């Protein structure tokens, strides 16, 4: 997972969507898609769901999962087929870490920044305005971060649903949410390269490379070694039991202690939401430390701890064991490469294809009816969007499993 800067008062970038610029740079974008992401093709299914919603004059919110760093290429291929570019709600760090030219391009591609650690009213109002007035769909990734999991969604954040529900109250047209599933598949076997990286990881913790063992076994042995080190660091002893239980136990130990320190009530929130609350508390206190270097250092360490928690959260512990496909093996090693070896983004191994699947639009008004405040209906709408995307991913997995079983 990418380490990013965090602060409460972030710079702001607004979208300057230019359909001409999007068309003009399309050849360059597709060349980068091939050279940087090694995406040979992008299949788009269910585009008629999107086309009918746009043709009907609705404000359209697209809610994809966020499995990889090539997601923007996949979504823009869908926009090309629709014949209408999209707006994108984008973390401000994307602009901050980009060159001035790249930031300028992002804005012409419809990207506008959001500060996710608090309540970014400017970005919220901009998203509501797009859904209420604009003829171009808005893309929001409700997972928030790239978790490198093709086959599972992580909990959708309710802020996306609140945007859509608020737009219903302000717009004079229908507002629909279109669930979207993104899936990557290798068309070239990356196993030799994966084994090379696995050897590099094993050497990183002073192991001899275990080249005679199956790759899935090597992944799990490495994961157990890595979590044992972190358990010793944080808990003073290793835990017993299955790896998923150990992951959850370590998350709860680290995150729970931080919440108690800051007096935060979790209220049955998801881990990403709890991380957001702790991170915001740390950032707020950093602004008022008044030259206390000891407290400032402690808060900086806590920010590193919550980043570790979200890294750990991206490893469910049973992802590979459940279905040891090439994609799941590769995704797990990609995360190791970023988290253990410190690569900003994992290297692309093997040529791939992407699949974009749109589901039937969800009428947001049906969730807004009877709710005095948008947040009252945000939970049910979020659940409906998350479940729809997961069903699409499950269908992909079933089809892939059937194809593998019938291959000679």
Residue 182: what pLDDT?
Answer: 97
Cα gap 5→250, rounded to integer Å: 24
Whether 10 is in a domain gets the answer no
227 and 358 part of one domain: no
Is a pLDDT exceeding 90 seen at residue 241? yes
pLDDT category of residue 4 using cuts at 50, 70 and 90: low
Residues 6+ apart with CB under 8 A from 15: 87, 88, 107, 110, 111, 112, 126
Rg (CA), the chain: 22
Is a pLDDT exceeding 60 seen at residue 381? yes
Whether 12 is in a domain gets the answer no
43 and 161 part of one domain: yes
Where residue 95 sits, what CATH number does that domain have?
Answer: 3.40.1130.10
Tally of CA atoms within 13 A in the half-sphere of 155 that contains its CB = 16
User: Nearest 5°: CA angle at 111, between 106 and 115?
Assistant: 115
96 and 45 part of one domain: yes
* Residue among 158, 185, 164, 235 nearest 352 (CA): 185
281 and 212 part of one domain: yes
Is a pLDDT exceeding 90 seen at residue 165? yes
Whether 6 is in a domain gets the answer no
Last residue of a domain, one of 339, 370, 387: 339
Distance of CA 155 to the CA centre of its chain: 10
Whether 11 is in a domain gets the answer no
Last residue of a domain, one of 286, 317, 339: 339
137 and 252 part of one domain: no
108 and 242 part of one domain: no
Q: What helix, strand, coil percent values describe the chain, rounded to 5?
A: 55, 10, 35
Q: What is the mean pLDDT of the chain?
A: 92
Residue 336: what pLDDT?
Answer: 95
152 and 106 part of one domain: yes
Percent of the chain with pLDDT over 70: 95
Cα gap 366→271, rounded to integer Å: 29
Whether 3 is in a domain gets the answer no
Percent of the chain with pLDDT over 90: 82
Average pLDDT, integer, range 158-177: 95
Whether 319 is in a domain gets the answer yes
Average pLDDT, integer, range 16-35: 95
126 and 222 part of one domain: no
**Structural domain harbouring 284:** 191-339
Whether 8 is in a domain gets the answer no
| Least-confidence region, from 170-184, 318-332, 392-406 | 392-406
For residue 60, give the 3-state DSSP assignment.
strand
Tokens (6 digits) for 357: 């699947």
> What are the DSSP calls for 340-391, one per residue?
TS--SSPPP-S-EEEEEEE---EETHHHHTT-SSHHHHHHHHHHHHHHHHHH
367 and 383 part of one domain: yes
Pairing of strands 362-363, 39-45: unpaired
For residue 9, how many other CB atoms are within 10 A of its CB? 9
Cα gap 205→284, rounded to integer Å: 36
Is a pLDDT exceeding 70 seen at residue 151? yes
36 and 129 part of one domain: yes
Whether 4 is in a domain gets the answer no
Last residue of a domain, one of 314, 339, 364: 339
* Domain count within the chain: 2
76 and 225 part of one domain: no
Residue 116: what pLDDT?
Answer: 78
For residue 307, give the 3-state DSSP assignment.
helix
Residue 351: what pLDDT?
Answer: 93
235 and 262 part of one domain: yes
| Least-confidence region, from 120-124, 227-231, 294-298, 370-374 | 370-374
């Amino acid at each position: 997972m990418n380490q990013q800067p965090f602060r409460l008062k972030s710079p702001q970038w607004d979208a300057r969507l230019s359909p001409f610029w999007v068309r003009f740079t399309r050849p360059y974008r597709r060349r980068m898609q091939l050279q940087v992401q090694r995406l040979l093709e992008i299949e788009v299914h269910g585009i008629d769901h999107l086309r009918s919603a746009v043709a009907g004059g609705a404000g359209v919110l697209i809610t994809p999962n966020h499995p990889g760093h090539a997601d923007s290429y996949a979504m823009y291929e869908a926009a090309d087929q629709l014949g209408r570019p999209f707006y994108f709600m984008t973390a401000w760090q994307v602009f901050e870490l980009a060159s001035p030219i790249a930031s300028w391009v992002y804005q012409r591609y419809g990207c506008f920044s959001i500060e996710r650690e608090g309540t970014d009213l400017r970005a919220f109002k901009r998203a509501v305005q797009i859904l209420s007035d604009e003829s171009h769909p808005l893309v929001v990734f409700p997972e928030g971060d790239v978790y490198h999991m093709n086959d599972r969604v992580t909990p959708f954040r309710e802020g996306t649903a609140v945007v859509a529900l608020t737009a219903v109250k302000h717009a004079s047209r229908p507002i629909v949410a279109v669930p979207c599933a993104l899936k990557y598949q290798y068309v070239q076997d990356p196993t030799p390269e994966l084994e090379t990286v696995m050897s590099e990881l094993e050497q990183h913790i002073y192991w001899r490379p275990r080249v005679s063992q199956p790759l899935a076994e090597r992944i799990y042995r490495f994961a157990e070694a890595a979590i044992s080190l972190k358990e010793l660091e944080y808990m003073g002893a290793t835990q017993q039991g299955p790896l998923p239980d150990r992951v959850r136990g370590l998350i709860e130990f680290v995150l729970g202690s931080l919440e108690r320190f800051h007096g935060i009530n979790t209220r049955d929130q998801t881990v990403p939401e709890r991380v957001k609350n702790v991170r915001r508390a740390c950032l707020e206190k950093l602004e008022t430390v008044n030259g206390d270097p000891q407290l400032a250092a402690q808060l900086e360490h806590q920010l590193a701890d919550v980043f570790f928690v979200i890294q750990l959260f991206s490893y469910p512990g049973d992802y590979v064991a459940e279905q040891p496909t090439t994609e799941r093996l590769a995704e797990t090693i990609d995360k190791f490469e970023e988290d253990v070896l410190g690569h900003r983004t994992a290297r692309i191994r093997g040529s791939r294809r992407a699949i974009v699947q749109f589901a039937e639009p969800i009428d947001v008004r049906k969730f807004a009816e009877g709710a005095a405040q948008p947040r009252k209906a945000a939970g049910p709408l979020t659940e409906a969007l998350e479940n729809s995307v997961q069903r699409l991913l499950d269908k992909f997995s079933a089809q892939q499993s059937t194809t593998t079983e019938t291959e000679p």
